[in-house]
Amino acid sequence: MNLKTFFAMLHRDAHVARRNFVTLLLQTLFQPMLLVFVFGKVMTSSGLIRPEYKGMLLPGIIAIAMLLSGVWSVAMPLVSEFQFTKEIEDRLLAPIEIEWVAVEKVVAGMLQAIAAGLIVIPTAWLVMGSGVGLSFTRPLEFLALALLVSCLAAAVGLVLGTSVGQTQIGLMFSLVIAPMIFFGCAYYPWSALRVFPVLQKVVLLNPIVYASEGFRSALVPRFPHLPKAAIYAGLILFDALFVSFGMRQFRRKAVG
Amino acid sequence: MPQRPNLDLALTAREILIFHGAYFGVPPAERERRALELLERFQLTDRADRLVLGFSGGMLQRLSIARALVHDPRVLFLDEPSAGLDPQTLLWDLIRSDNQRGTTILLTTHNMEEADALCSRVSIVDHGRMIALGTPAELKRSIPGGYVVRLHLAASPPPLLASFERLPGVTGVRTSGDGAVDLYADRGGALLPEIARLSTEAAVEIRDVKISEPSLENLFLHHTGRSLRD
């Protein structure tokens, strides 16, 4: 492991991200913000949805914004770098182990996911107006969750970016990521699924559930949420799963 | 430097050099300086701050070599450097000047002319086996005769081949796999009247004649029985 090389690569990714800042922002935050506006503002102000829903929605939106930007920022460049441009070799040539190149990608993705989360919180709050009622009394819990969720996002991006070709990546987003978001308990708490007992069990296989419920437990603990032990266990398990699988795929693609 | 450019498409030419220097631990001021110097030498200064996406094949090739030089390596590996689109001489001058600055260069090429012009030591590899090693001059001297006259004949009866071999200046006659006959000799065109006479006497039609002067290409031919284009 070569720290200098590692940080030079992070620096490179930050440099490119800064250059593409606006595009990145629109790509990953536009959709969540539309949702915030329609569900958090239009529906609540018109009385179709009770105003308390705002507080329920915001943690889910944070989870989704972080996931989308983390997945996107790792997967999209990887897909093209591994394709015919073979751009990835530019990084693989550097004096650092292949695994650390993958770790760097994950760390860069985590930073982008966290940045997205930090942008979404105040923006969504502003859009929804009064009555969101977030409590920031558990900063350490929030920090731990933010790290775990951003790691999940970047690791899913690593898996997608190393397993899916350029032609299927769009399809992956609409066929895999979109349903994961809708069944990720972002727009409703997990407990609301009790009327669909089978679905309620099945969605536990969806890592986004733990992200949404996790932020709910930290930011709006007055609402029902999964027990903390289950949240952390779920996030840590899925993090480990996707990181190890993504690293394996990365190695296979880089060497093959 | 790889055969196909694999540059970082999200960066400008200057940034590619600077970041590559950073990956290899070149200090900040030093890598800025080297980047500018290399852009100048490789005639890319006017493109320094553009993304490389729109560069021509030759520019990508030159930038790839520049990238390989940012951290001042002691050995430079160049894989088919003239596969790009620049005039060869420009690239050759750049490679020579680096070699003179003390960089050892290992160059892979299928262009024998290039190997002859640039390399102080040449190893010829065919199907993963090294078939010759030495300076270009040594290698060229090692071919019997130097000239190769390759004949395509309608038939190749052994008495005719034997009579070829007895011609003055011919050091060897070989038949290659595809039916061609190679005469190794110290002359080229001057042999043709004799060859034509002998063939007519033997009632064998000559379908094609190719004369090659002493070169590494002939050496390859001599060792493998195939020309590089086969």
pLDDT-based confidence at residue B83 (cuts at 50, 70, 90): low
Nearest CB to A95: which of B15, B19, B24?
B24
Based on the fold, state whether residues B31 and B94 are members of the same structural domain: yes
Q: Distance (Å, rounded) from C-alpha B110 to C-alpha A70?
A: 45
Based on the fold, state whether residues B102 and B24 are members of the same structural domain: yes
How many residues comprise chain B? 230
Assigned domain for B136 exists = no
Assigned domain for B175 exists = yes
Rounded mean pLDDT, B51-79: 87
Q: Distance (Å, rounded) from C-alpha A23 to C-alpha A204?
A: 33
Q: Distance (Å, rounded) from C-alpha B65 to C-alpha B79?
A: 10
Task: Identify the pLDDT of residue B230.
Answer: 46
Assigned domain for B18 exists = yes
Show which of B85, B108, B131 is a domain's final residue: B108
Task: Identify the pLDDT of residue B140.
Answer: 76
Q: Distance (Å, rounded) from C-alpha B129 to C-alpha B44?
A: 39
Based on the fold, state whether residues B171 and B104 are members of the same structural domain: no
Q: Say how many CA atoms lie within 13 Å of B222 toward its Cβ.
A: 27
Name every chain B residue with its beta carbon within 8 A of the beta carbon of A5: 22-25
Contact partners, residue A123, CB within 8 Å, separation at least 6: A29, A33, A36
pLDDT-based confidence at residue B85 (cuts at 50, 70, 90): low
The rounded mean pLDDT for chain B is 83
Rounded mean pLDDT, B113-137: 84
Residues of chain B with pLDDT > 70, as a percent, come to 91
The rounded mean pLDDT for chain A is 91
Assigned domain for B77 exists = yes
* Domain ranges, residue B35: 13-108
More confident residue, A97 or B155: A97
The model's pLDDT over A69-90, given as tens digits with 9 standing for 90+, comes to: 999 999 988 988 888 677 888 8
Q: What is the SS3 assignment for A204?
A: helix
Determine the distance in angstroms separating the CA of B93 from the nearest CA of chain A, rounded to an integer: 25
ipTM for this prediction: 0.83
Task: Identify the pLDDT of residue B229.
Answer: 47
Assigned domain for B124 exists = no
Based on the fold, state whether residues B18 and B102 are members of the same structural domain: yes
Helix (H) or strand (E) holding B211: strand B206-212
Name every chain A residue with its beta carbon within 8 A of the beta carbon of B24: 5, 94-95
- CATH code for position B98: 3.40.50.300
Contact partners, residue B17, CB within 8 Å, separation at least 6: B31, B34, B35, B38, B39, B63, B66, B67, B70
Assigned domain for B5 exists = no
Interface of B to A at Cβ within 8 Å reads: 2, 4, 6-11, 15-16, 19-20, 22-25, 67
- CATH code for position B174: 3.30.70.100
Based on the fold, state whether residues B26 and B90 are members of the same structural domain: yes
Assigned domain for B207 exists = yes
Number of domains making up chain B: 2
Task: Identify the pLDDT of residue B22.
Answer: 94
Interface contact A2-B25, CB threshold 8 A: yes
Contact partners, residue A176, CB within 8 Å, separation at least 6: none
Assigned domain for B189 exists = yes
**Which stretches within B70-213 are classed as H helix?**
88-100, 112-118, 136-141, 158-165, 192-201
Show which of B108, B125, B160 is a domain's final residue: B108
Nearest CB to A87: which of B9, B15, B67?
B9
Using the predicted structure, report yes or no on whether residue B228 has a pLDDT greater than 60.
no
